[in-house]
Amino acid sequence: MRTQVGIVGAGPAGLLLSHLLHLHGISSVILENRCRHYVEERIRAGVLEQGTVDLLNDTGLGERMRREGLVHHGIELSFSRRRHRIDLSELTGGKAITVYGQHEVVKDLIAARLAAGGEILFEVADVAVHDLETDRPRITFSQDGKPQELVCDFIAGCDGFHGVCRPSIPEGVLTTYERVYPFGWLGILAHVAPSSEELIYAHHERGFALHSMRSHEITRLYVQCDPHDDIKNWPDERIWQELHLRLENDTNWKLAEGPVMQKGITPMRSFVVEPMQYGRLFLAGDAAHIVPPTGAKGMNLAVADVRLLSRALDAFYVRGNRELLAAYSATCLRRIWKAQRFSWWMTSMLHRFDHHSPFEQRVQLAELDYVTGSRAAATSLAENYVGLPFED
């Protein structure tokens, strides 16, 4: 088999890259080791930045998102038993976020690729990348037990944090920056109407909690937990109890309960590799970087990466211009490091750290008081939360 760009991974990065390349008239094939149902039902991120929404709309992917997505103009921060609203739109000249599940974006992308005749090979195995230093890199894999080979001009490693592309880069090429947090998030999806119109990020002495949603009928909730804890230790009653304690405060506001449809524990880390390229292999999304979820940046960063990669590949094919490809990694990393900073800052401000001294606890509360009391500080949070402008 032959294609211009071989893409490993059918997550948001790989699928959107394939779609954007198609709009530029560039062919691609996506290789995914899971089945279509699995990738379409995998519950992950839920907040789309303004720029992500605009990009999906501008490239013909926004029809269902406009109908079903929930546009939010603010978020709430809860601490010291009080809630404070950050008016995102007022502070950012009208920008907003849209709550629309990552798996819904994935469904829309798969539908769009297949409708346009795009090739996505699901349930392939033994994916390996070769000849990355040449101008004919190859991907080998097996399909239905038969060995196959895809010869490409370029390979996009969009295979997430546990993928094969990043580890295929020879030792010594990449520099890794990493921070592992001493906590994780236990997330549930509950069949109950959201109890608040907006997201609530709660700082509490028992640990962080987040009230989010997926629709008018489905609530998404998280509590800070031990990252090594077994989900079996968290019967539904215990989860609801923690959520009530951490989210409810002095007002009459009550969190509504409903049947738990799904639950799981996610560890938290900050991770970046530099550079995001080796020869003709380009990494994008979680394959190159991970953020703790507190800033809601993971999927949005993946979108920003492939937006740049598609433009750079277009410049190469249409004008023979290699400069954008050469600049890909450095251009992406400027945004990535700012998102890393923001995600680390939100995480540090909102979570309980067992090792914190009483002094550090007071400083944390002062930070929350400052962010909710100062227009300058609130504006900084808001402009990062709705998403910094895309790079040119």
Q: Is 225 in the site for ligand DHB (CB under 6 A)?
A: no
Interface residues for ligand FAD in 218-237 (CB under 6 A)?
none
What are the φ and ψ backbone dihedral angles of 226, each rounded to 5 degrees? Answer: -70, 125
Give the one residue of 159, 242, 248, 314 binding ligand FAD; rule: CB under 6 A: 159
Q: Is 347 in the site for ligand FAD (CB under 6 A)?
A: no
Tokens of 277: 């390229």
Tokens 């994780």 sit at which residue?
184
Number of residues that bind ligand FAD (CB under 6 A): 30
Per DSSP, the three-state class of 371 is: helix
Give the one residue of 212, 300, 310, 372 binding ligand DHB; rule: CB under 6 A: 212
What are the φ and ψ backbone dihedral angles of 199, each rounded to 5 degrees? Answer: -70, 145
CB of 32 to ligand FAD, least distance (A): 5
Tokens 């939360």 sit at which residue?
385
Question: Containing H/E element for 191?
Answer: none
Give the one residue of 29, 39, 368, 378 binding ligand FAD; rule: CB under 6 A: 39
Give the one residue of 224, 277, 294, 329 binding ligand DHB; rule: CB under 6 A: 294
Does the annotation count 222 as an active-site position?
Answer: no
CB of 293 to ligand DHB, least distance (A): 3
Q: Which residue's Cβ has the minimum distance to ligand DHB?
A: 46
Q: Which stretch binds ligand FAD (CB under 6 A): 10-18, 111-119, 166-174, 228-236?
A: 10-18
Per DSSP, the three-state class of 108 is: helix
Give the one residue of 6, 9, 46, 184 binding ligand DHB; rule: CB under 6 A: 46
Tokens of 239: 């989860």
Contact present, 28 and 5 (Cβ < 8 Å): yes
* Binding partner selected for residue 294 from ligand FAD, ligand DHB, none, CB under the kind-specific 5 to 8 Å limit: ligand DHB
Q: Is 314 in the site for ligand FAD (CB under 6 A)?
A: no
Tokens of 13: 């990065």
Nearest CA to 329 out of 292, 289, 271 is that of 289
Does the annotation count 181 as an active-site position?
Answer: no
Contact present, 53 and 346 (Cβ < 8 Å): no
Does the annotation count 107 as an active-site position?
Answer: no
Q: Is 45 in the site for ligand DHB (CB under 6 A)?
A: yes
Question: Containing H/E element for 324?
Answer: helix 323-350
CB of 388 to ligand DHB, least distance (A): 16
Q: Is 292 in the site for ligand FAD (CB under 6 A)?
A: no
**Which amino acid is located at 101 in the chain?**
G
What are the φ and ψ backbone dihedral angles of 157, each rounded to 5 degrees? Answer: -90, 95
Mask: binding to ligand FAD, 351-380, rule CB under 6 A, as x and -? ------------------------------
Interface residues for ligand FAD in 99-138 (CB under 6 A)?
102, 127
CB-CB neighbours of 236 under 10 Å: 13
CB of 258 to ligand FAD, least distance (A): 19
Per DSSP, the three-state class of 44 is: coil
How far is 109 from 32, CA to CA, in rounded Å? 14
Catalytic site residue from 201, 222, 278, 328: 201
Tokens 């900084």 sit at which residue?
380
Q: How far is CA 205 from the centre of its chain?
A: 27
Q: Is 293 in the site for ligand DHB (CB under 6 A)?
A: yes
Tokens of 369: 């008081």
Catalytic residue ranges: 72, 201, 293, 297, 385
What is the contact surface with ligand DHB in residues (CB under 6 A)?
Answer: 45-47, 199, 210, 212, 220, 293-294, 296
